[in-house]
Amino acid sequence: MPPKSAASAPGSRSCSERENTITNDAASETSARSYKSRITTASKLAKKNPEFADWAKAVKVDPAIKTNLPNDSKFGRIKKLQSDSKELPGWLRDPESKEFDRIPPVYQKWKNTLCSKLKDDPRYRFNESKDLTVPFAIGLILQVYYHDTKIKESDRAALKSETDVRFSIDNLVMYSCDADGDELLVYSTEQKLKLPSIKSSQLSSQVDVSSTTADGIISLDLIQFKPYTLNFPQIQTLLSALSTESLTLNLILVHFVAEYKHDEGENQMKMGVVSALYQKKMLGIEGQFVFGLFQFSGDGLAVVAGVWQDGKIQFYEVGTYTRQSPASLVELYFLLRAIKRLAAEYKTELEKSSTELMSRIKVNPPADEWAARETDTVPEVLEDPSDEPQQAGRSNIPQRMSQALSKLEQWDANDRINAYNKSVR
Q: Is residue 387 part of a domain?
A: no
Decide: pTM greater than 0.85: no
Q: Is residue 92 part of a domain?
A: yes
Q: 400 with 353, same domain?
A: no
pLDDT of the residue at 409: 46
Encode pLDDT of 161-205 as tens digits.
777 778 889 999 999 999 988 989 999 999 999 999 998 777 878
Q: Is residue 2 part of a domain?
A: no
Q: 294 with 334, same domain?
A: yes
Q: 220 with 136, same domain?
A: yes
Q: 100 with 192, same domain?
A: yes
Low-confidence ranges of the chain (pLDDT < 70): 1-36, 157, 374-425
Q: 186 with 220, same domain?
A: yes
* 8 Å CB contact between 115 and 93: yes
Q: Is residue 64 part of a domain?
A: yes
Q: 77 with 208, same domain?
A: yes
Q: Is residue 222 part of a domain?
A: yes
Q: 46 with 30, same domain?
A: no
For the residues of 207-229, what is the DSSP string, one character each? Answer: B---EEEEEEEEEEEETT-HHHH
Q: 50 with 124, same domain?
A: yes
Q: Which of 133, 170, 107 minimizes the C-alpha distance to 301?
A: 170
Q: Is residue 379 part of a domain?
A: no
pLDDT of the residue at 411: 44
| Other beta carbons less than 10 A from residue 161's beta carbon | 9
Q: Is residue 295 part of a domain?
A: yes
Per the structure, how many domains does the chain have? 2
Domain containing 358: what range? 42-363
Alpha-carbon torsion (348, 351, 356, 361), positive or negative: positive
Q: 66 with 143, same domain?
A: yes
Q: 336 with 404, same domain?
A: no
pLDDT of the residue at 226: 93
For the residues of 83-115, what is the DSSP string, one character each? Answer: HHTTEEEGGGG-TT-GGGGGS-GGGGGGHHHHH
The residue from 363, 383, 403 where one domain ends is: 363
Q: Which of 172, 129, 186, 176 minimizes the C-alpha distance to 347?
A: 186
Q: Is residue 145 part of a domain?
A: yes
Q: 104 with 182, same domain?
A: yes
pLDDT of the residue at 5: 43
* 8 Å CB contact between 355 and 344: no
